[in-house]
């Protein structure tokens, strides 16, 4: 077949890219066309997203795509992080500057919510992990502080759906991102309207939810004209970046519970791909989350703070006059003495500290551990703690599924951290297979290719990824030492505060 090109607009918390996926029927190649920065904008003691600037950069990327590939482009689709959203008026005005999920306005709102709808009922109606950043608590907070603005809203759109609206005029929300909101029912597979009404939230603004692979319409005429593109098909991939990444896990296994995944980056999302959501009392106790996947599957997983700890330490080191690239940071961590101290990466103190190294030292100090006194010691503490948290979460997932996991697939940018990959194999006692790095973009473009009819199934998507990617395997080492370390970690992270 003639090579077809699919465009992935892939937005992360630190950067965005417009990527081209070139598919010849057997292999997929990616080319980065345009990269741009992203991050919070501080506005009057709040944290916001500058979505207008992101849209401007996306259009630059579309212009570059037109110049590079022209008529070979089949379609375009957007994936982003979860939970954040835009409210649109009836006339298509953006109501306010959208908030960043780390904004402090949601502090305490989760417990206030439970006074109106008990925690167990929220879980039964959503199946989602309880995190104060979830869309539900953001919307409750907004309704408390600015109810007039919420009342004006005609459409609630998640971030990728907002960009799809800018591209095509569609006003729908895609399934995988809807499930990150803690407002979507896991068995009815629609918005949890009764729960939302009990919380005093207007429900008329919640639009139709569509499946990954849905055609949303053609590129707006003015957008196509400015970019120099034909009026391409706009396709909703799995719009939640983790959903797209898991679609591109290169597993050969047919059993849905005998392999686990970690989508590794700023956040680590560790889970299983299952046919149905896990909604038992034990799932509630473990605070797992059920996020939508391809073909109606559910990603039963835990959000783990991930390489955020390392990224923030690196920024702090640079501020103090010690710049590191990530390779050097891994080296000083490798050289540091092992198993000195551990932290719980998911403790709330690590969500948005002013100084991550000091937050780690304080956690160690408060738990009567040896305090890391070097840059390498801090990074090693963070990486060992992450690997041990992966082992803990893997045990929970196996308990819920009733199956032993045979292998862990790590995809995403975190696959480049070879030290953490080896630590993960050591801590879990499971082989770890890493790659592809660009799983999110691959999942995005291959779902589009399936929509066009060029790919037949999810299994075929994974076959193509496996044939097109370089992967690395890590076998467990030093398991006795890591077993001892895990015992200490469990004691530290489960003791009453």
Task: Report helix, strand and coil shares of the chain as percent, to nearest 5.
Answer: 45, 20, 35
DSSP 335-383: HSPTTS----TTSGGGSS-S-HHHHHHHHHHHTT-PPP-SHHHHHHHHH
Q: Would residue 241 show up in a list of annotated catalytic residues for this protein?
A: yes
Instruction: Please give the structure tokens belonging to residue 338.
Output: 């092992």
Instruction: Please give the structure tokens belonging to residue 489.
Output: 């970690």
At residue 11, φ and ψ (nearest 5 deg) are -110, 125
Q: How many other CB atoms are there within 10 angstroms of residue 282's CB atom?
A: 12
Question: What Rg value do the Cα atoms of the chain yield, rounded?
Answer: 22
Distance of alpha carbon 99 from alpha carbon 469, whole angstroms:
36
Q: Are 308 and 12 in contact (CB under 8 A)?
A: no
CA 294 to chain centroid, in Å, comes to 15
Helices (H), 101-205: 109-116, 119-126, 135-145, 147-152, 159-168, 175-178, 193-198
Q: Are 160 and 152 in contact (CB under 8 A)?
A: no
Distance of alpha carbon 379 from alpha carbon 364, whole angstroms:
13
Residue of 241, 344, 346, 375 marked active site: 241
Angle CA 205–210–215, to nearest 5: 120
Residues 218, 438, 391, 337, CA torsion sign:
negative
Catalytic sites, residue numbers: 241
């Amino acid at each position: 077949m003639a090579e077809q090109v699919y465009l992935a607009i892939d937005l992360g918390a630190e950067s965005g890219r417009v990527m081209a996926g070139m598919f010849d029927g057997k292999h997929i190649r990616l080319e980065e066309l345009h990269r741009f920065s992203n991050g919070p904008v501080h506005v009057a003691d709040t944290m916001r997203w500058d979505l207008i600037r992101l849209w401007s950069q996306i259009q630059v990327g579309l212009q570059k795509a037109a110049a590079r590939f022209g008529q070979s482009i089949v379609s375009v689709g957007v994936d982003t992080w979860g939970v954040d959203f835009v409210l649109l008026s009836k006339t298509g005005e953006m109501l306010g500057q959208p908030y960043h999920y780390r904004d402090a306005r949601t502090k305490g709102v989760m417990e206030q919510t439970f006074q109106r709808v008990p925690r167990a009922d929220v879980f039964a109606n959503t199946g989602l992990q309880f995190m104060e950043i979830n869309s539900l608590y953001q919307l409750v907070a907004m309704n408390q502080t600015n109810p007039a603005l919420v009342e004006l809203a005609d459409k609630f759109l998640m971030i990728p759906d907002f960009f799809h609206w800018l591209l095509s005029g569609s006003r729908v929300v895609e399934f995988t991102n809807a499930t990150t909101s803690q407002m979507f029912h896991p068995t009815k597979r629609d918005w949890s309207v009764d729960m939302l009404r009990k919380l005093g939230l207007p429900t008329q603004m919640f639009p139709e939810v569509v499946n990954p692979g849905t055609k949303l319409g053609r590129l707006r005429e003015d957008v196509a004209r400015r970019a120099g593109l034909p009026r391409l098909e706009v396709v909703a991939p799995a719009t939640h970046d983790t959903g797209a990444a898991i679609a591109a896990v290169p597993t050969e296994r047919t059993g849905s519970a005998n392999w686990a995944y970690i989508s590794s980056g700023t956040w680590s999302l560790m889970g299983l791909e299952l046919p149905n959501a896990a909604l038992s009392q034990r799932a509630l106790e473990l605070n797992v989350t059920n996020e939508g996947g391809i073909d109606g599957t559910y990603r039963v997983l835990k959000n783990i703070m991930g390489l955020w700890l390392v990224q923030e330490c690196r920024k702090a080191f640079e501020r103090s006059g010690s710049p590191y690239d990530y390779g050097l940071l891994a080296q000083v961590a490798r050289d540091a003495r092992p198993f000195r101290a551990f932290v719980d990466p998911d403790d709330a103190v690590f969500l948005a500290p002013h100084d991550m190294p000091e937050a780690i030292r304080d956690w160690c100090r408060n738990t009567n551990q040896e305090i890391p006194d070097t840059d390498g010691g801090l990074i090693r503490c963070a990486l060992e703690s992450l690997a041990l948290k992966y082992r803990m979460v893997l045990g929970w997932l196996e308990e819920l599924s009733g199956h032993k996991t045979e292998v862990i697939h790590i995809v995403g940018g975190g696959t480049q951290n070879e030290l953490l990959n080896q630590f993960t194999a050591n801590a879990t006692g499971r082989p770890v297979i890493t790659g592809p790095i660009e799983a999110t973009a691959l999942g995005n473009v291959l779902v589009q290719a399936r929509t066009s009819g060029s790919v037949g199934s999810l299994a075929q998507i994974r076959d193509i990824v496996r044939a097109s990617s370089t992967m690395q395997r890590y076998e467990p080492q030093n398991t006795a030492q890591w077993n001892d370390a895990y015992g200490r970690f469990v004691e530290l992270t489960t003791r009453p505060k």
